[in-house]
Structure 1
Amino acid sequence: MADVKMVLLSGLAEMVAGAISMFFGAYLSTKSQREFFDNEIKRETREIDEMPEKETEEIREIYSNLGFKEDEVEMIVKRVTSDKKLWVRFMMREELGIMEETFDDPLRVGSIMGISFAIGSLPPLIPYMIMDNPFTALKVAVVTSLLFLFGVGIGKTTVTKGNWLKSGIEVAIIGSIASGVGFIIGKIVSLVVG
């Protein structure tokens, strides 16, 4: 087995690389969603400019299908079409089901993902920071990782309002499977590479 410093350095390198990768993955994904939204706004604005009758008819259809009476529908159509920004926003929400509020800031999302990855990478590394024996550090790393994962599962229930024990066990099991697969792949690679 590798010595403690080698495991620690490898783990820290993976933590930094993984955090950077998670940051950029989340950033680009969120940025793409925002770009999609912006392009849909441009398309919807163009449709309102070029085919106002068709877009007005779509408003009528939406509210008629909801059971509004004809005079109520006309009142809504008049109000919505009187303000172009409102009209575009209305078409985005009601026709396309896209709401601007659902799109997060890419930098914020990327930062949260990167920092979360780094924090999640620390529990298995801490034993290697304070112990000299790699076998003991590995055992303690497994236990601290399981406890951390269990804690994350419990923390998740503050949002989901689910059963804390079930959630803690679920996250610990899923994390264990992912770690186990990574460990097995590492073993196979070390056997192949030598």
Structure 2
Amino acid sequence: MKGAGDGGERPMLETGLISMHGERHFTAGEVVRDVIMGVSDGLTVPFALAAGLSGARAPSSLVLTAGLAEVAAGAISMGLGGYLAAKSEADHYERELEREQAEITTVPDIEAAEIGEIMAQYGLEPHEYGPVVKGLQRRPEAWLDFMMRFELGLEKPEPRRALQSAMTIALAYILGGLVPLLPYMLMPAAQDAMLTSVGVTLAALLFFGYVKGRFTGTRPVLSALQTTLIGAMASAAAYGIAKAVQGWTI
């Protein structure tokens, strides 16, 4: 029978403790970032455009046509931007990975010393991190991963991250952009549709800002107010500019 100090029972004990602890960390940060980017712009930009056109006394049909065109163009543009950003991040990771791999192969002593320097930053003494350095030297893949994470601060991106980012941002933009345009689909009078759009969009901005705050760990109420304020300022600016241009051209 193995004693409590026997190493054979330690992994089982640690596993049980981890299970009882029940740590829950939010790990979908990149997806949430893409959704936030897409929905926030989707709610704000078409809303501002529709308000501006309504301020110029354009009919609902024109506002709707321009709004849908903007949503389509914005979704493509935002999705492409997300794709290029994620692709650039993946390309940068691969370049640094190749460089770090070459350094481990050609100058292993220098790279091993860098492990010690990293450990020393956490207050560890040479006799404490020495076994870790030797252990990593025996495991080249783990060594490379350690250097990428702790020396360069780079995480390996998901293989399909670029495409997923593009699709997520584009779909989120479309969903957000349709909200302020819905009243224009149902009301022929642009002024009436604009007032309804203001109410619907502000409510959507409040809800989205609150949900965003819950996911990102910030204060939900503050997040909701900030998101709504930004959307309201953008639409008010567009409406005021349209009114000013209309006054100049009359």
Q: For the Cα contact (< 8 Å) 1:146–1:176, is it kept in 2?
A: yes
What does residue range 98-113 of structure 1 map to in structure 2 within 5 Å? 98-100=154-156, 105-113=161-169
Instruction: Give the equivalent residue in structure 1 for 2:130.
Output: 74
The match for 2:144 among 75, 88, 106 is 88
Instruction: Give the equivalent residue in structure 2 for 1:17.
Output: 73
Partner Cα separation in structure 2 for residue 167 and residue 49 of structure 1: 49
Instruction: Give the equivalent residue in structure 1 for 2:104.
Output: 48
Q: Which amino acid aligns with 1:24?
A: L
Q: Name the TM-score, length of structure 2 as normaliser.
A: 0.70
Deviation at 1:163, TM superposition (A): 4.0
Q: For the Cα contact (< 8 Å) 2:180–2:201, is it kept in 1?
A: yes
Cα 1:20–1:83 change in 2 (3 A) is same
Instruction: Give the equivalent residue in structure 1 for 2:63.
Output: 7
Q: For the Cα contact (< 8 Å) 1:30–1:103, is it kept in 2?
A: no
Partner Cα separation in structure 2 for residue 169 and residue 51 of structure 1: 54
Which consecutive unaligned segments of at least 5 residues does structure 2 have?
Answer: 1-56
Deviation at 1:4, TM superposition (A): 1.4
Partner Cα separation in structure 2 for residue 7 and residue 146 of structure 1: 19
Structure number with the bigger relative contact order (C-alpha 8 A, sep ≥ 6) is 2
Partner Cα separation in structure 1 for residue 147 and residue 229 of structure 2: 44
1:131-177 deviations in Å (ceiling 9; x for gaps): 11111111111111111111111212321444443322221111111
Aligned-residue CA RMSD (Å): 2.4
Q: For the Cα contact (< 8 Å) 2:71–2:177, is it kept in 1?
A: yes
Partner Cα separation in structure 2 for residue 28 and residue 101 of structure 1: 14
Instruction: Give the equivalent residue in structure 2 for 1:129.
Output: 185
Is 2:220 the counterpart of 1:169?
no
Partner Cα separation in structure 1 for residue 235 and residue 111 of structure 2: 53
Q: For the Cα contact (< 8 Å) 2:210–2:224, is it kept in 1?
A: yes
Q: Name the TM-score, length of structure 1 as normaliser.
A: 0.88
Q: Which amino acid aligns with 1:60?
A: G
Count of aligned residue pairs for this structure pair: 194
Q: Which amino acid aligns with 1:5?
A: S
The match for 1:115 among 158, 171, 174 is 171
Cα 1:62–1:185 change in 2 (3 A) is same
Q: Which amino acid aligns with 2:134?
A: K
Q: Which amino acid aligns with 2:226?
A: E
Partner Cα separation in structure 1 for residue 160 and residue 233 of structure 2: 31
Partner Cα separation in structure 2 for residue 19 and residue 190 of structure 1: 29
Partner Cα separation in structure 1 for residue 248 and residue 137 of structure 2: 68
Q: Which moved more, 1:60-69 or 1:21-30?
A: 60-69
Q: Which moved more, 1:18-27 or 1:51-60?
A: 51-60
